[in-house]
A = this chain, B = another copy of it.
Amino acid sequence: MSDQLPQGATIGILGGGQLGRMLSVAASRLGLRTHVFEPGANPPAGHVADAVTTASYEDHDALAEFAASVDVITYEFENIPTAALDVLQELRPIRPGREALRVSQDRLTEKTFLTDLGLRTAPFADITDADSLAAALEVIGTPAILKTRRFGYDGKGQARILGPEDAAKALEDMRGAPAILEGFVEFSCEVSVIAARSADGSVACFDPGENIHREGILRTTTVPARLSGKQRTDAVLLAAQILNALNYVGVMGVELFVTPQGLLVNEMAPRVHNSGHWTQNGCTIDQFEQHIRAVANWPLGDGSRYADVQMENLIGDDLDRLPELAREADTAIHLYGKGAVKAGRKMGHVNRIIRG
């Protein structure tokens, strides 16, 4: 591609957490610099970025200055305020584009987008008040789960409804935010497809990984996932369909439920994804570099898997296990350099190579 970003060019990254940190490292492998925009102090990505802007997403001067200093803008999280995007896109390309953000910032829009594509999801309904919730519960049944349409992650902004008697309390938990009711799905396992699409429309998917969550937080991802050949193909084709429909450029994480009736889409994240961290030690080109390649107009790399891997998140005081983890054979440690250990906080992860 003639406009492949050259040596020394700078990628702007919105968000300075661990994903931005690992994106910065991947960019450095391609001779690129990164400039991180992050409201919080001492962002993990700042330790390995060439520059950091500490400012709020409401500070439009800071946003404009940031944009002017970079060649292209990407992000590590999807909940970027629309007004900030308006400022940025006047100055520099944002990849992946606005449409992916619009769709994935709202659970209702996302579910509607997916079903319009002919893909299957859990049953869902738009909830605006007690009446619409009662009506939806009639159709969807219980157990079900009420979620805010926007700004949810790692199980936050969610309330389980085991029977109609839980409805009022669940609605109250939404604190007036627009919500969506989702039915429970019987699934044998949850898998993720980490898919990449380059500017020229090429799509490449990493081998699907199998996820285990606890308390709403991803604990482990294991490759290969327990999928039949057909399920594996279906998963990859389905992810490619989503990326193509959005004219997407970058890496996306697509979470799928495996059910007797086929694959259901649980969630899509328009960014590198925790369930793709195994690629750092299972592939020559990992998800972070694949994302940077796409965003920088490089051809996608070779993401074929060379090893079986289990990724385990290190959450909160899991970090106390570091001395033992550091001595484990076939184990790569990836820490995020976060100062304070807090319960539920992702502090790092390990990738264990599984020998046959």
Contact = CB atoms under 8 A, between A and B. Distances in A.
Given A284-B331, A337-B33, A28 B7 contact: no
Nearest to A285: B332
B46 A334 contact: no
A348 interface: yes
B339 A326 contact: no
Interface in A22-69: 24-25, 28-34, 46-50
Contacts of A227: none
Contacts of A322: 4
Copy number in the complex reads: 2
Interface string A278-291: 00010011000000
A4 B327 CA distance: 12
A29 B284 contact: no
A299 B328 CA distance: 10
Contacts of A334: 29
Contact of A319 (B7, B284, B285, B323): B7
Given A28-B48, A47-B33, A332-B284, A339 B7 contact: yes
Nearest to A26: B25
Interface of A: 1, 4, 7-8, 21, 24-25, 28-34, 46-50, 281, 284-285, 293, 298-299, 301-302, 304, 306-307, 319, 322-323, 326-339, 347-348, 351, 353
9 tightest A-B contacts by CB?
A31-B335, A31-B337, A47-B50, A48-B48, A302-B329, A28-B48, A284-B332, A33-B47, A299-B327
